[in-house]
């Protein structure tokens, strides 16, 4: 058992830390982390950040060197996430491109596809989105209905996608379509690399419960793609989808490290807030609850490290990632609920009127998406029960 | 980054498991509860032959000279079978205190005999109707020549009837001290009924019992702080025992819901059960992580050692009750019977939650360790 980092890993951390200090947007480290409200400016800001990352060699560290990456080890990826969380770095606009699409193309794409897309992903010239969920295919992803039909040399695509992050900014989409109706619904799915900038594609923002617009609906009306845009084989897209998921080898590391930071913030809050001239953290009920949170956040971090150790030994991530995701997302929800609760009757005040900082109210609202997106808590419990404990599958699946 | 037990540690677990399987697993505890304790004594000797009693004892005293982390897999296995008696108190309380504070003579006698399996020890701290505060100790040791004369009553002593020696918290002239008292006919030992009948709790009565002053363990009048040190390693080890128990409980639930059929299918196909068992598994794995880290922090003297141990203990004790309770529900009617082991684990879990301090008490300890 050993929790230390090697000298080489520490050097890597220091190199990144120094680079971040010199290259983060003006005023970022000092706490000026407001992102532009205007959509155009927002997009330009994030694309610019990706460009800066690329120029420093920090955009796609896990990629092979020949594609412009660093061949980073898994531990270096972990350190990368820790450091990005530490400085609350701006979001990566091309997350889907860098962490999912490009690695998948490197593995199973054609030479032409590699040539055409990988470098543009790296330098931020093309932003990607993921066309997975549909109104009637959420947790049951294989139930997708968006159809692709071959007409001459074209594939004509019709249907609707939802929950597409960065859909309105994206240039291309990693799109799941149904190309044939077979006995089992996960057969007959084909993946296309769809051009988003065409008349048959329309995106509409989804307004979330917290007022933000992070997702889109994507309407496909006779959108066009070609044979050259297919990843893998026709009707064999499910395998491609699974392969793509395996490239997320650090699992939910970023969220685990973020939770650690959020917990520390909550400790500060309970020290700053006073009731009857006494810091909240001195109240026996608050102390007990805070020890609960401390223990469970430590537990989630340590679980993550234990699963990471297993991934390092096995060479690939296992089903344990579903435990990490379940625990961290549920705990985040509870933590922000409590953070609002300790602010008493003024806890409901929002935005400019927030008692301390709207960070708490914003994250409270935001946290409700965490136990849904990327696998609902219910699906994760099924996975834990079936894949880890070996319980029988539900009928109908 | 390597957060896993070593191959050697896992191999040692294998030997212990094989031995305890051969001994009938929870059969040992069931027999013990009926008063048939001979089998338990044989098991103790068998475990000592495997090296289990001397893991952390120096080689010079006949032990294996290993660290706290090497106890972990063994304690987990003990937890799986609900081993009765005071293995925990012997290896994780008496041994570390003897190593740190024992005189040469004490080490020579006690550590050597513990490693050889010929002596077990337990902790006698609490008193009738009293709590966990130092002021509440009235059991006393008065100096008389080169002797101490001990008077008082101790309760809730695990494995009190089987233990060969007691580490007793007594009031001395200017504070509290720990003394080692060997089992003699002068000490009156009475069984106390406990809902966990597999433990063997005792009440000890001392009426003018004479012991030598050289039986004091650690600095005189500093017994309270020495006790706290002992509690750190005891609680770290306790979490390991709990991990073993929880693991067994979850295995029981998983196996049962795969076999039991209702409405024409295994009940494990129903999400009401599936999701509950997934949550039980999460509690187990979180307890395991906290427990392994706590023991590692203890062995390597990390700065967050106290917070890690107290928080792991409080989480573990609460989680154990949760999973043991769910296990009964998952089994339905048969889970409520004496015949199936479910209740044994619940009763043990219930015991540990309040053992040497409630989970509330240890949460406060954790808060203090975090400087809140």
* B296 and A CB contact within 8 Å: yes
| Cα A289 to Cα A276: distance, rounded to the nearest angstrom | 19
The tokens describing B270, both together, are 């129903």
| Cα B244 to Cα B320: distance, rounded to the nearest angstrom | 10
For residue B86, give how far its alpha carbon lies from the nearest alpha carbon of chain A (Å): 28
3-state secondary structure chain B: CECCCCHHHHHHHHHHHHHHHHCCCCHHHHHHHCCCCHHHHHHHHHHHHHCHHHCCCCHHHCCCCCCHHHHHHHHHHHHHHCCCCCHHHHHHHHHHHHHHHCCHHHHHHHHHHHHHCCCCEEEECCCCCCCCCHHHCCCEEEEECCEEEEEEEEEEEECCCCCCEEEEEEEECCEEEEEEEECCCCEEEEECCCCCCCCCEEEEEEEEEEEEHHHEECCCCEHHHHHHHHHHHHHHHHHHHHHHHHHHHHHHHHHHHHHCEECCEEHHHCHHHHHHHHHHHHHHHHHHHHHHHHHHHHHCCCCCHHHHHHHHHHHHHHHHHHHHHHHHHHHHHHHHCCCCCHHHHHHHHHHHHHCCCCHHHHHHHHHHHCCC
Q: Tell which residue, B280, B260, B363, B302, has the closest CA to residue B68.
A: B302
| Cα A39 to Cα A169: distance, rounded to the nearest angstrom | 9
Q: How many CB atoms lie within 10 A of CB A313?
A: 9
In sequence order, the β-bridge partners of residue B152 are: B206
Instruction: Measure CB to CB from residue A391 to each of B1, B6, B268 and give the nearest one.
Output: B268
Closest residue in chain A to residue B293, using alpha carbons only? A302
Confidence at residue A80, expressed as pLDDT on a 0 to 100 scale: 97
The tokens describing A321, both together, are 């990632």
**For residues B161-169, average pLDDT:** 97
| Cα A176 to Cα A146: distance, rounded to the nearest angstrom | 8
Confidence at residue A397, expressed as pLDDT on a 0 to 100 scale: 62
- B chain contacts of residue A284, beta-carbon cutoff 8 Å: 364
- Does A294 contact B296 at a Cβ distance shorter than 8 Å? no
For residue A173, give how far its alpha carbon lies from the nearest alpha carbon of chain B (Å): 35
- Best A389, A393, A395, A397 residue to mutate vs chain B (most B CBs within 10 Å): A389
| Cα B358 to Cα A260: distance, rounded to the nearest angstrom | 27
Residues in chain A: 397
Confidence at residue A396, expressed as pLDDT on a 0 to 100 scale: 64
What is the number of CB-based contacts under 8 A between chain A and chain B?
142
The residues near B84 (Cβ < 8 Å, ≥ 6 apart) are: B28, B29, B32, B33, B37, B40, B159, B162, B198, B199, B200
- Does B274 contact A290 at a Cβ distance shorter than 8 Å? no
Reply yes or no on whether A248 is catalytic.
yes
The tokens describing A249, both together, are 């080898």
pLDDT in tens, chain A (397 residues): 988 899 999 999 999 999 999 999 999 999 899 889 888 898 899 999 999 999 999 999 999 999 999 999 999 999 999 999 999 999 988 999 999 999 999 999 999 999 999 999 999 899 999 999 999 999 999 999 999 999 999 999 999 999 999 888 899 999 999 999 988 889 999 999 999 999 999 999 999 999 988 899 999 999 999 999 999 999 999 999 888 877 777 888 899 999 999 999 999 999 999 999 999 999 999 999 999 999 999 999 999 999 999 999 998 888 999 999 999 999 999 999 999 999 999 999 999 999 999 999 999 999 999 999 989 999 999 999 999 999 999 876 6
Distances (CA, A) of B67 to A21, B10, B96, B233: 42, 14, 10, 11
Q: List, for residues B233-285, the tens digit of each pLDDT value.
A: 999 999 999 999 999 999 999 999 999 999 999 999 999 999 999 999 999 99
Catalytic-role residue among A9, A125, A236, A248? A248
For residue B366, give how far its alpha carbon lies from the nearest alpha carbon of chain A (Å): 7
Reported ipTM: 0.95
**For residues B4-19, average pLDDT:** 96
- B chain contacts of residue A1, beta-carbon cutoff 8 Å: 2-6, 69, 292, 296
The pTM for the full model equals 0.96
Confidence at residue B263, expressed as pLDDT on a 0 to 100 scale: 95
pLDDT surpassing 80 at residue B368: yes
Distances (CA, A) of A393 to A85, A370, A397, B48, B280: 37, 25, 7, 45, 18
- Best B2, B9, B257, B307 residue to mutate vs chain A (most A CBs within 10 Å): B2
3-state secondary structure B43-65: HHHHHHHHCHHHCCCCHHHCCCC
Q: How confident is the model at residue B184 (pLDDT cuts 50, 70, 90)?
A: very high
* B311 and A CB contact within 8 Å: yes
């Amino acid at each position: 058992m050993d929790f230390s980092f090697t000298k080489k890993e520490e050097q890597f951390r220091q190199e990144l830390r120094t680079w971040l200090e010199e290259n983060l947007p003006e005023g970022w480290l000092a706490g000026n982390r407001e992102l532009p409200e205007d959509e155009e400016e927002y997009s330009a800001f994030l694309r610019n950040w990706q460009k800066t990352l690329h120029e420093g060699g920090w955009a796609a560290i896990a990629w092979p060197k020949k594609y412009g990456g660093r061949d980073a080890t898994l531990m270096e990826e972990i350190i990368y996430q820790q450091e990005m969380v530490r400085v609350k770095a701006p979001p990566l606009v091309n997350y889907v491109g860098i962490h999912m699409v490009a690695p998948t193309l490197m593995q199973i794409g054609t030479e032409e596809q590699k040539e055409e897309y990988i470098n543009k992903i790296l330098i931020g010239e093309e932003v990607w989105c993921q066309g997975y969920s549909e109104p009637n295919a959420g947790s049951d992803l294989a139930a997708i209905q968006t159809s692709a039909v071959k007409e001459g040399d074209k594939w004509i695509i019709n249907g609707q996608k939802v929950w597409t992050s960065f859909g309105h900014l994206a240039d291309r989409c990693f799109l799941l379509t149904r190309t044939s109706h077979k006995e089992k619904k996960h057969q007959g799915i084909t993946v296309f690399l769809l051009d988003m900038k065409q008349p048959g594609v329309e995106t509409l923002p989804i307004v979330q419960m917290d007022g933000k617009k992070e997702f889109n609906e994507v309407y496909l009306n006779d959108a066009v793609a070609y044979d050259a845009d297919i990843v893998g084989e026709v009707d064999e897209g499910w395998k491609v989808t699974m392969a793509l998921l395996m490239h997320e080898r650090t699992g939910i590391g970023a969220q685990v490290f973020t939770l650690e930071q959020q917990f520390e913030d909550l400790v500060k809050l309970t020290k700053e807030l006073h009731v009857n001239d006494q810091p909240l953290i001195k109240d026996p009920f608050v102390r007990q609850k805070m020890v609960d949170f401390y223990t469970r956040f430590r537990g989630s971090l340590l679980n993550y490290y234990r699963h990471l150790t297993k991934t390092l030994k096995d060479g690939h991530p296992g089903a344990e990632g579903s435990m990490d995701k379940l625990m961290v997302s549920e705990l985040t929800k509870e933590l922000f609920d409590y953070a609002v609760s300790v602010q008493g009757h003024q806890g409901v005040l929002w935005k400019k009127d927030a008692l301390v900082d709207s960070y708490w109210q914003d994250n409270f609202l935001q946290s409700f998406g965490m136990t849904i997106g990327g696998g609902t808590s219910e699906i994760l419990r099924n996975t834990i029960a079936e894949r880890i404990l070996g319980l029988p599958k539900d009928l109908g699946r | 980054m390597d957060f896993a037990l070593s191959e050697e540690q896992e191999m040692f677990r294998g030997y212990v498991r094989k031995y305890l399987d051969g001994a009938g697993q929870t059969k040992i505890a069931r027999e013990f509860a009926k008063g048939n304790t001979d089998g338990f004594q044989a098991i103790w000797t068998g475990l000592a032959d495997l090296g289990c009693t001397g893991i952390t004892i120096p080689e010079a005293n006949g032990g294996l000279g290993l660290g706290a982390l090497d106890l972990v897999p063994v304690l987990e296995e003990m937890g799986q079978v609900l081993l009765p008696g005071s293995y925990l108190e012997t290896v994780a309380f008496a041994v570390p205190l003897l190593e740190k504070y024992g005189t040469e003579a004490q080490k020579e006698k006690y550590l050597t005999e513990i490693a050889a399996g010929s002596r077990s020890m337990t902790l006698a701290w609490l008193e009738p109707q009293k709590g966990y505060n130092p002021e509440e100790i009235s059991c006393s040791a008065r100096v008389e020549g080169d002797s101490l004369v001990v008077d008082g009553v101790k309760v809730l002593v695990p494995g009190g009837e089987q233990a060969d020696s007691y580490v007793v918290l007594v009031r001395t002239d200017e504070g509290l001290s720990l003394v080692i008292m060997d089992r003699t006919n002068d000490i009156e030992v009475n069984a106390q009924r406990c809902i966990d009948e597999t433990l063997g709790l005792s009440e000890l009565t001392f009426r003018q019992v004479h012991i030598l002053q050289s039986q004091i363990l650690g600095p005189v009048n500093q017994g309270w702080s020495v006790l706290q040190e002992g509690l750190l390693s005891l609680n770290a080890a306790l979490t390991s025992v709990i991990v073993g128990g929880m693991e067994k409980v979850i295995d029981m639930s998983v196996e049962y819901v795969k076999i039991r059929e209702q409405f024409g299918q295994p009940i494990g196909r129903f999400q009401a059960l599936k999701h509950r068992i997934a949550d039980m598994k999460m509690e187990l794995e979180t307890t395991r992580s906290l427990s392994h880290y706590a023991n590692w922090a203890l062995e390597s003297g990390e700065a967050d050692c106290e917070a890690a141990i107290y928080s792991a203990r409080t989480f573990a004790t609460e989680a154990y009750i949760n999973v043991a309770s769910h296990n009964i529900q998952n089994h339905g009617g048969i889970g409520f019977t004496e015949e199936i082991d479910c209740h044994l684990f619940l009763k043990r879990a219930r015991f540990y939650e309040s053992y040497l301090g409630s989970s509330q008490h240890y949460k406060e300890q954790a808060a203090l360790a975090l400087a809140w």
